[in-house]
Chain A
């Protein structure tokens, strides 16, 4: 996706913690979404950050630093079902979503 950088693939172990980083272009920035997409399925909403700081939602947390153009998604107590792609998405001043290419997360037992 344009001006959004996230790792292509990451591997983690069941029960562990993993952090998926995302950097984005700061001009015209309004907010940052994270979506989850299982293989062959549609994306589903995980989180939305507009202010700096950490938003916690169960096993998943999302962090935003507007000044640094940086976000991360933190997944705790990993389960096999968390194997999916995680999409970092910037909401811009034109009311459109700019999608990153996604990070494929592989969970190993």
Chain B
């Protein structure tokens, strides 16, 4: 693994189903983030984690949950998917929360909820 990876690359999901998007980084970064990107809108933060064992809510957390059991992994779970959650999801990580800490992004997961 080099950098930050996400799985799956894309997924079509029936409404009401549960889905977990996986994110793993091998850079030993403390901070990790989940964003969604919708056409015409900027990236919107869903949840974040400052360090292993802690998580926080971003701008659009409803319908999503996260966990941070260790430094490397930061899965995002949709408990009961709805069509409005159709989006491209990006996971990112940064060394910390300082303003100089660049965020590094995974390749994204394209999710379609029908």
Contact = CB atoms under 8 A, between A and B. Distances in A.
B45 A41 contact: no
Dominant SS at the A interface?
A: strand
Contact of B40 (A43, A87, A101): A101
Interface in A56-109: 87, 89, 91, 95-102
A91 B99 contact: yes
Interface stretch (B11-19, B78-86, B103-111): B103-111
Contacts, number: 50
Contacts of A97: 43, 45, 103
Give chain B's interface residue range (CB within 8 Å of chain A): 20 to 34
Interface residues of A, number: 24
Given A87-B43, A98-B42, A99-B42, A30 B105 contact: no
B21 to A, nearest CB: 14
Most A C-beta atoms less than 10 A away, residue of B99, B106, B108: B99
A62 to B, nearest CB: 14
- Nearest 3 Cβ contacts at the A-B interface: A1-B42, A99-B42, A42-B105
